[in-house]
Structure 1
């Protein structure tokens, strides 16, 4: 398992904003998760009209080959295959009039579908 810290995340797998970390940690705490071991899994899966989409879920611990990014007390687990698609991305949390939720700003995306739910690299 490899670990990247926020200080080097700009050229690493993913950078986590303070807003995203706060929201994820609050949700994990509500679910009774161990915040010292568990984390948010960020992954890429086949699907959507553009071909790929993001997935997120909470995991109790990282898998053996995961990259673990730690920032603002949040641990984010990324599997090697997903890291190829999301390297250099920023995980943010946005709250606005139209929508509220987690958002991935991915510099590798060359096109997105009209609804913004899927992408192509």
Structure 2
């Protein structure tokens, strides 16, 4: 399905700990937008939708809707700190092109 590195796991759990609802769900989806056509969106959500799947990724359960699933299958989510600050990095085998920040991509047809 997808992989979440230890660094990304720590950051997601840190962000989740700041949520008011301890049972909040970590959601990953893609939406039209960004400079390459599709952009990643990560949010915390209180409820599942009818077209959601829940996937165990180590210590984290990830909610992915069926429309996003084909575009994130095989994705590795990482987190790193550099001179510009910290941020999530997306390594997506389904992307034919990505923007410089890796948050936007063009998918396979």
TM tier, shorter chain? 0.7 to 0.9
Task: Confirm whether residue 43 of structure 1 aligns to residue 23 of structure 2.
Answer: no
Gaps of 5+ in 1: 1-11
The structural deviation recorded for 1:76 is 0.9
User: 2:57 is matched with which residue?
Assistant: 71
User: 1:22 is matched with which residue?
Assistant: 10
Q: Which has the higher helix share?
A: 1
User: 1:61 is matched with which residue?
Assistant: 47
The structural deviation recorded for 1:63 is 2.4
CA distance in 1, matches of 2:44, 2:11: 13
Q: Which has the higher strand share?
A: 2
Please say if residues 38 and 75 of structure 1, whose CA atoms lie closer than 8 Å, have aligned partners that are also in contact. Answer: no
TM-score, structure 2 length as denominator? Answer: 0.85
Q: Hey, which bits of structure 1, 4+ residues long, moved more than 4 A?
A: none
Gaps of 5+ in 2: none
* Aligned with residue 33 of structure 1, among 10, 16, 21: 21
Deviations 1:23-63 (A, max 9, x none): 111111112332xx422111000112211110110012332
Aligned residues: 107
TM-score, structure 1 length as denominator? Answer: 0.77
User: 1:92 is matched with which residue?
Assistant: 78
The CA RMSD measured in Å over matched residues stands at 1.7
Please say if residues 23 and 93 of structure 1, whose CA atoms lie closer than 8 Å, have aligned partners that are also in contact. Answer: yes
The structural deviation recorded for 1:110 is 0.5
